[in-house]
Structure formats: structure tokens, C-alpha cells
Structure 1
């Protein structure tokens, strides 16, 4: 979770965001993969063909930026699809350069790259993998059009794909560090994600009645999201292909009733005895070890929430003690994807237009300046314009600082002897540090700057440390200007789209609980839709709130709507538990609170943005 330092709480939101960084344990397996990703480059240097290793190293670098924690099978799409897009972009850029020629192009290149940015930007808003694909196809197209290379276009594209494929192969075959249990190691990521759900249930129960209950409920929702995504990889998407996979699916499904009961108990606000967390923790340990869970301590069945928790523990124990389990359906994921996809269409048009304008403008400026590394300027703007890297002002400041630091570090590197092998070592060190550097955009920028400058030198071009600084500053100015232009349409599409999806999911969930009480499977899917869309809305709101005041005010009042949605969903979950144990209709207190929250939500949505 991002944790701001004390100073950040006293600064304006747009400036405080610069000081925030994600924290967590060092992903040593990703560090090892990043270092080994330089192997193709080392081979090319030993073969006295360093230029041939540059495209492979670029492919490995971009794949390394996407190499995040998660399951092995989910990484196939997360790393493989962007790599394919980047390979196609590199080939396209090479063909564009061959068509335009080596002279200046103040019309054709800006127009072609601008149109490509328009399409890639619009597609990028449909999800994180699509965003990575859009970025890689644009960056690779710009590099292919501007970076000289003795290798023909198709070979460059294949080398780029080989570099990314090498990192993906490492991701699939290297065992997880500190692995415990006797289950198949290919499911380590999925097992850890499912186990984290049970740990989150235990923490929410422990926080019940205290100030951390709301954060615990949000953490549980995030854990369920990660587990759902981990189980969505190839062959796990619809039909489990082994008993271990079917068992893992059943263990994930068994967490739904526990999550529902824990949410209802946290909503009630009563402190719970410490021993009540022992059952979920034993289930988490069982998932990690691959064994049975054994006897679980039962809570006292004194109210509906505790009865629901006891029933959920009994059902989970039955699932865990069976050798295999049935694989649940995917209804919840399909519903969420379709709803959110429709809601993002307006935001995609706005983002695509800004990417296209940025790409065309930066290419025009770079062509007008007519310098050797003109492709740096549009390639930098492609990264800078991405909203998932943080608020605009924050990422511009981080980019400027990170580039200056990276250029200074590279200036020291080129002073060392044995240039080719020194540069290969530098690339390997940067690749190893990249998984940690992605926690802060300025640090990531510094690492990527050193890596790119090393590759440029290995490719036969002269050192250009301070030229890289100038290009980054020009890109920052371009993105700042275009990012605040009053383009057609209203601002804040992403926030409104996310809130509309959350409100719609909440209303569907309420209606199902009140009118289809016996359909527990559908209720669980709708509950996941509601909480997941709420999390997406809060992410969009936090991002918008950290923009400059002129942009942030466009989404004023959004936090009130999100808060009303959250209270409505939590109350609906508590009402659902009451209806199961054993009320035939919502108790008066729940019915009254549902009506009040629905009215509160309508009033919050009616408040116009300032």
C-alpha cells in the first residue's frame, strides 16, 4: 500500500503524491529474473554483434516493467501480449522509416504516429494489459522509426520478441523463493493469492469494532480481486485441468461466505474475541501447505453474523478436507468486465485523443529540431501521458528528477574502463533493480534512463546523457500543456465512468438481495462486482484528487458518492446475512438503513461538481 511520509500530509495533494512510494518485501525472484534478462545482450556482445542485442534488451526491459507479483499463468498475458504488441510496433516503425526516408518529415511522421497514438490510447483504457499493449506498440513504433540499426526490420522485431520471451520463460520456469508445501510449484502464485484471502478475513475479524475495520474490509476486497485475477490465467479460465486446480478453485469459492460473514460482523461494529481469527488463519496455512486444515475452532452462535461465520467455516472445512473440489463458474468476472468496459468508453475517447495529440506534437517538435535522437521525445511523452502512472503533475516532476539523476549516474558509468562489458553489467544491474524501482516513478525513471543510455551506446551511437535530459524536459512541457488543454468533451470521464459502474453494481446487488434471497451464487457474484467496482472508483478518485487544482475540481463531490456507495454495499451485505439466519424479510433496522443509504446516494449524485 502507498504510505505517505509525515511531510507529505502537510503539502498540497498534487505535490504530496510525489513523495509517496509503495512498500513491501523485496521480490527477489523478480530481481533475479531482471538480472538474467541481460543474457541475450551478453551473448550478442560476446559474438561481437552488440547492436543485435539492443532490441532484445529493449524487449526484456519493457517486459520487466510489466513483471509484477501474481501467478505464473496470469503472467503469460501480462507479459506476452504487450511483447507481441511491441514487436508489431517495432516492425511498423521500421516500415514507416523506410517509407518516409532519412530526411525531416514535418507532416507524415507526426500524422501517422498521432493516429497510432489515438487508437492505442483509446484501447489502453480497457484494462491494465491493454494499457501495457498500447504503450509498448507506441514506444516500439517510435523507436523503430527513429533508432538506427544495421538489422532489418523483421529481424529487429523478432529479437525484441525474443528478449521479452526470455524474461517470460524465466518467469514460468524459475521456482518461487522460500516455497513451502508439496503442491505443484506452477500454482504457487495462485495458492498464495487464495491464502491471502483467508488471511485478510482473519485481519478483518480482528479489526471488527476498531478504527481499522474499514481498511480491513478494503484489504479483503483487494485480496479477493487479486485471487480472482490469479485464477483467470490460461486453462484456469473455465475448466480446471488437474485435481490441484479444482481444489484451489473450491478453496477460493469457500472464501466467499467467510468474506460475507466477516463483512457483516465488521459492519455491526462489535469487538470479537481473538480466538475467532484462528479458523481463517488455519485455512490460509492449509492452502499454502497443500494439506488438510483439521478441526477448526467454532465461534459462539449468538447472532446472525456469528452463525453465518460458523456455517462458512464448516463448509470450508468440508471443502479443504476433500481431495478435490468442483470448479465454480465465472459469472462474476464476466459481469464486472462487461459493465466496466461499457463505462470506460467515454474515458477511452478522451485519453486516446490526448495520447494522439501528445504523440503528434512531440514528433513534430522533434522533427523540427532535427537531431540524431529525435525519437526520444515522442517515446518519453508516451510514458508520461499514461494516467496509471500517477497524477499528471506528479509524474512530470518525477520524470524530470529521475532523468537528471539517471543521466548523472550514467556519466559516471562511461568513465569506467572495458566499455562493452561494463555496459552489459550496467544493464544487468538496472534490470535487477527495476522490479523494486517500479514502486516510485522517479526511481523507475532513473533506472530506465541509465539502462536506455547504455543500450544507445552499445548500439553504436555516441553518448548523449544531457541530450536525454533536454528531451525529457521537452516531453514534460509537452505533456503538461496537452494534459491541461480543454479538448472536446467534459473532463473527469474516468472518475464519472468508474462511479457509474460502482453505483450500477450496488443497485443490482441490493435488488438481488431483496428479491432473490435463495440464489447465493448470484449474490456472491454481484457482491464481488459491487466491491470491485467500488475499489476501481476509489482509485480513480484518489488519482484525480492529486492532480493540479484546475483538474482536481472537475471531480469534486466524487468522494461523497463513493462513501455512500460503500455504506450501501456494506449494509446490503449485513442484510443478506440476516436474511439467511433466519429472517424471512429484512429486519426493520436494516430496511431503514438501506432506504437511508439509497436516499443518501441519490443526494450525493445530485450535487454538481464545482
Structure 2
């Protein structure tokens, strides 16, 4: 629904007989729609708004570059400028998801601003682009979520579901304890915590009436930390648990979704440190859930802030930035040399394809090619069938609205997203007064696929594998900090919780980087050799540290010899696993 309503400014521009003014608006809404994901509304402000500002600046910069280059045509100036811009934006993109969206939008918008012939001046284009993205963001904030559960304020639906997912994941981990799926369930719990942390960390869009509900959600999220710790320690012990213990966290999850009371919770037998910790955590959580909403107090001091921000000009940032620069400069040279009317499509497409967070390179290139051909075929066939029935700009506006409605679903698969975006872009091209170009879109996309595939495996100066190495460095450091804090200050529960989240989140990021690199072609995949063993050693160390933390938190004496021996074994394993692959990756 949001995607379809996002085309309303474009319709108004067409009704005002200014369709070209609606093109930047639709572009801003389209790129914001690509960034839109399920989750909290407050997180959407940053996830959609900041990249929109970057895209608006890029569109203005592109028009200025075109004016300086003389009509947007140059075999020297444009490739050089876009190469430098790609280097900076690519390095910045490596620092996080929002930064990645910012880098993509500023590059794409700059290329479009330099190549797309629109009568509106640069500042007007930038404001219209920002208005389109702002309109979609406004819809994201004010429209209720479909099928929303519970009775709380709908603007907190995303946060409430994210917190409920944490309790649901605790229940699944307790059920899997002692079985073959325990590790997978523990990883799913870590992912649920990451999502809840992100959902509650956005701008504080609270009103007078909603502040109590917001504080309560923070309190419910904080109440899950002891449960998470106890469940992780029990999973580490590997002893199957009674089925009735699963019901407690599940009832808490239902209470978060409905806003009601959790009711009586089944208590475990307090026979060891893990079960005592689980019982205490359930009792504390029940007290928080039964507390009146107006008196619920958030525990911000116990909420982890996540990993330290990455530096843009790190080794991984330079590696990615250099690859983006090569792709942008090369594709611009090819596009300028071909003198194609829609030359800007080629560098704009390479920017999307070179993003490393869209999956393995070969996979996304194939998906792009298939999606473009399918989208161009659908657009051409639709235009042929409707040519004798409908005419004018309104069928194109309808196509944009339909694509906007499909975009949230299409983002689940890159090929489908490409097909939808292709139809949308071809519609905007016609609304902008340019000639039909379905076949040209296919040719430009295939050239971009070849450019990115070549640049992605080109041996550039310096070493490769910086992304995996940097992610493993971060994970190993976080695991050591967590262990040191547990041994030195076991009574500091808030600090321990923050370091535990940092350790597990860093481990998840490292595994993502490893899996992505390992799925590439051999010239790239070989740089991740041995890294999976390092991640496994880090995981075992963190899990054992959590079990030690639970033991120290419920007994005044020191660690038992079995725990201390396991820690020593895992530390030795990690040292051996990390030394060899690190030396090999550094030599490549």
C-alpha cells in the first residue's frame, strides 16, 4: 500500500502537466522503497532519511558536474570525477548498512543528475528527489502495519515484534538444548537480539502519550538479557530440558505482542547454576511484565550500544572503494565512448551491482541480467498490448504505482527486484520525455554485468581479503574483552551484557563476511581459507564464557576446574586457528 501511495506526487505532477518534475520525486521514492525493510518506525527515519539526503546531494552534484563537463559528455572529466567519487563513497559504504545505502544513493543520483536530460534546474531536482523520499518516509511513519497484533500504539509495532522475537528465540533455544539444532538456535537468538537492539536504537520519536509505552518496551527488552544468558549457558551444558520450561519464554513473547500480562510461569528445578539462573531470570521478567505501564522504567544503562563504528579508510574500506572507483570510471568511459542516449544507465547499474551486501558477485550479476531481460520484456509486451487501448502519461503513472506496490515484496530476491525496478525506470524515462529504450536497457545492463564481473576479480594493488580479516579481528577482540570482564568483574551484569552482545554481534558479522566471500569464484573465495575454523573457535570461546558468567553470578566461589579447563582449551584453539589463516591471508 505504501509503495502505491508513494506515486501520488508523480500523479499530481502529471495532472499539473509537469511530468518531468515528477521524475525526480519518483526516483527518490523508488530508492527509499528499496531501503525500506520491516522493522521499527524510528529506525526507518535513519534507514530511509539519511540515504535520501545523500541522494539529494548527489543529484545536485551530478547536475553541476554535467554543466562543468559541457552537456554531460566527456571521455576524461566524467570518468575521473566519478572514479574519485566512487572511491570515497565506496570506502564510506564499508562502515555499515546505512552508510552503504548512502554511498549507493549519492553515486546513483550523481550519475543520473549528470546524464538524465530534465528541464528542471539542479536545486529543484534535488528538492523534488528529497520530497519523494520524504513522502514515502511519512507514509512509513503514519500508516499502521497490516495485520498488527495487540492493542498498543501502532507506531511501536516494529519494536514490539522485535522484542517478542527475542523471547520466542529463547523458547526455541531451550527446546533445542541437548539436540543437534542447539547451535543454530543460539545463532538465531543472537540475530533476534541484533534486530531488537537496532529497532530500539533509532531516533526517539516519542509523544507525551507514547513515552510510557516506549519506556516499557525498553524494560521488557532489558528483562530478556538474564534469560538469554541462562538459556545460552544451558545450551552449552548440552543437557536436554523438560518441555514445560519452553512455555515460560513463549508466554512472555505473547505478552509483549498483546500488551497483556504474562500470567503464571513454569519454574525449573534449581539443581545447578544454569537452572537457578533461568528461574531467577523468569521471576525478574514476570515482575517487569506485571508492573503497570506508567511505572515501567527503561534500563538504558544495561542496553548495549553495539560494536564500535568502523573507519571508512580502513584496509577493507580502501579495497572496496578502489573496486567501486574502477567500476564507475570504466563503465563511464564505455558509456561515453558508445554515445548512447541513456549513457548514465551503465555507471548507475554498476554501482548497484558492485555492492557486496547484495550477495555473491556472480549470483547478483546473473540475477541482474535475468531480471533486466524479464522486466524489459514485460514492459515491452505491456506497451504493445495497451497501445491501442490507453495512451498518454496515465498508464505510465499506473505502472509506477504498481511497481511501487510490488517493490517491498520484490526486495526479497535480487532478480525480482531488478525486474520491478526495470519496469519502473522505463516508465520514468518515457515520462521524462526521452524515447523508448527497453532494448537499450538490456544492453546497458549486460555491459554493466560484464564490467562488474571483470572488476570484481581483477587483481588490484595490495592484498585481498581485508573484509574477512577485519571482521575476524573484531570478533576475536570482542571475545577477549568479554572473557576478561567476566573474570575480572563478574558482578557487573550491565557491563557484561553489553560485552556479550558485542561479542555475539561481531561473531555474526564475521560469519556473514566469511560466507559471502566463500560463495564467490575461486580467485576471491581462496582469501577466506581457514577463516571458518577461526569463527568456530570464537563461538566456542564466547559460549563457554557465558556459561562461566552464569556460574560466577550464582556462586561466590571461583570457577570449577572443568570450566577453567574448557576456557584454556578454547583459548589455545583460537590462538592456533587464528595464527595460521591470518598468516595465509596476509600472504595472498
TM category, shorter = over 0.9
CA contact (8 A) 2:350 2:449 kept: yes
Match of residue 528, structure 2, among 555, 577, 592: 555
Q: Pick which of 459-468 and 239-248 moved more.
A: 239-248
1:354 aligns with 2:327: no
Deviation at 1:35, TM superposition (A): 1.3
Residue 307 of structure 2: aligned partner:
336
Question: What secondary structure, in the 3-state scheme, does the structure 1 residue paired with 2:300 have?
Answer: coil
Equivalent-residue separation in structure 2 for 1:603 and 1:303 (angstroms): 33
Structure 1 length as normaliser, TM-score? 0.92
Equivalent-residue separation in structure 1 for 2:452 and 2:89 (angstroms): 17
CA contact (8 A) 2:306 2:501 kept: no
Residue 449 of structure 1: aligned partner:
422
Residue 480 of structure 2: aligned partner:
507
Equivalent-residue separation in structure 2 for 1:73 and 1:401 (angstroms): 35
Deviation at 1:182, TM superposition (A): 2.5
Residue 201 of structure 1: aligned partner:
170
Equivalent-residue separation in structure 2 for 1:71 and 1:401 (angstroms): 33
Match of residue 543, structure 1, among 511, 516, 522: 516
Residue 160 of structure 2: aligned partner:
191
Match of residue 599, structure 1, among 564, 568, 572: 572
1:216 aligns with 2:185: yes
Residue 401 of structure 1: aligned partner:
370
Alpha-carbon distance change, 333 to 598 in structure 1, aligned in 2, over 3 angstroms: same
CA contact (8 A) 1:332 1:529 kept: no
Alpha-carbon distance change, 345 to 433 in structure 1, aligned in 2, over 3 angstroms: same
CA contact (8 A) 2:4 2:401 kept: yes
Equivalent-residue separation in structure 2 for 1:104 and 1:357 (angstroms): 19
Match of residue 141, structure 1, among 91, 102, 110: 110
Structure 2 length as normaliser, TM-score? 0.95
Equivalent-residue separation in structure 2 for 1:602 and 1:400 (angstroms): 44
Alpha-carbon distance change, 251 to 351 in structure 1, aligned in 2, over 3 angstroms: same
- Structure 1 residue runs of 5 or longer lacking an equivalent are 1-31
Deviation at 1:215, TM superposition (A): 0.9
Residue 67 of structure 1: aligned partner:
36
Deviation at 1:581, TM superposition (A): 2.4
Deviation at 1:344, TM superposition (A): 8.0
Deviation at 1:104, TM superposition (A): 3.1
Deviation track 1:212-255 (CA, whole Å, cap 9, x = no partner) reads 11111011000100000000111279x99822111111110110
CA contact (8 A) 1:513 1:576 kept: yes
Equivalent-residue separation in structure 2 for 1:262 and 1:446 (angstroms): 44
Equivalent-residue separation in structure 2 for 1:190 and 1:103 (angstroms): 46
Equivalent-residue separation in structure 2 for 1:356 and 1:180 (angstroms): 46
CA contact (8 A) 1:343 1:501 kept: no
Alpha-carbon distance change, 506 to 342 in structure 1, aligned in 2, over 3 angstroms: farther
Residue 457 of structure 2: aligned partner:
484
1:576 aligns with 2:549: yes
Alpha-carbon distance change, 327 to 89 in structure 1, aligned in 2, over 3 angstroms: same
Deviation track 1:178-225 (CA, whole Å, cap 9, x = no partner) reads 223232222111111111100010011111111111111011000100
Deviation track 1:78-100 (CA, whole Å, cap 9, x = no partner) reads 00111111111111101111121
CA contact (8 A) 1:80 1:168 kept: yes
Equivalent-residue separation in structure 2 for 1:85 and 1:165 (angstroms): 13
**What is the aligned-residue RMSD (CA, Å)?**
1.7
Residue 116 of structure 1: aligned partner:
85
CA contact (8 A) 1:126 1:344 kept: no
